[in-house]
Structure 1
């Protein structure tokens, strides 16, 4: 019966490691989600590659133009916004996976693992 409480303790200790959080680890420094590109450069140095693209998102919204309670007219408007997305690839050598840091408008939003470095 003692095995059940011990298993619960082990499971609870493992939970924080199961949570997904985007962070870039460079030696003993950590660049967390929401960090700026300047912070990543200061902690990790220059990436081996940088790719940049602009994404456009169009949102439609309805605007009520009715004058009274009985008259309801709706007009539709479209707003297009642009976002700059940059992917920085870090190569930490042949014994570690390369890391791709993804920035949206200058802030870290995701980190993905690539193949082994060179």
Structure 2
């Protein structure tokens, strides 16, 4: 094989691999001539994109660990010592959840369904679903 052919094949493979690794997510979304971006508030997204066709919410599990140290007094040992102090550490793991809201937009026939995820009132993720193949809602 010629060197040019090998290089061309390597470039094509690298491009295809990077395309698959990036997945179907984005940092911004074109809405009615405006740009919705990661970090925008829900109000800003409503203003730029209008009402979604579907709103859903779910709980994203999170974990928090807290540690406390409690002093403990140990019994006195021989008369030459005055006693020792020690401490005990207690670790508490609390399972909580982060409320995530997901809005779905249908941009129209031939386009991809678009899901926007919000955490704490801000847009955190944009991802694309299936291509719209029907003109009925």
Q: Tell me the TM-score normalized by structure 1.
A: 0.70
In the TM superposition, residue 53 of structure 1 has moved relative to its aligned partner by 1.7
Tell me how large the CA RMSD over aligned residues is. Answer: 2.7
Residues 36-85 of structure 1, C-alpha deviations (whole Å, 9 max, x = no match): 11111000001111111233423222222236996131012234433221
Structure 1 runs (4+) greater than 6 angstroms displaced: none
Gaps of 5+ in 1: 1-17
Partner of 1:95: 110
Asked if residue 52 in structure 1 is aligned to residue 57 in structure 2, the reply is yes
Pick which of 104-113 and 67-76 moved more: 67-76
* Kept after mapping to 1: 8 A contact 2:26/2:127: no
Tell me: CA distance 1:62–1:28, structure 2 relative to 1, closer, same or farther (3 Å): same
Computing the radius of gyration from Cα coordinates, the structure with the larger value is 2
Gaps of 5+ in 2: 1-18, 74-83
Quote the Cα distance in structure 2 between the aligned partners of 1:21 and 1:88: 15
Aligned positions, number: 101
Quote the Cα distance in structure 2 between the aligned partners of 1:106 and 1:57: 17
Asked if residue 110 in structure 1 is aligned to residue 120 in structure 2, the reply is no
Q: Tell me the TM-score normalized by structure 2.
A: 0.61
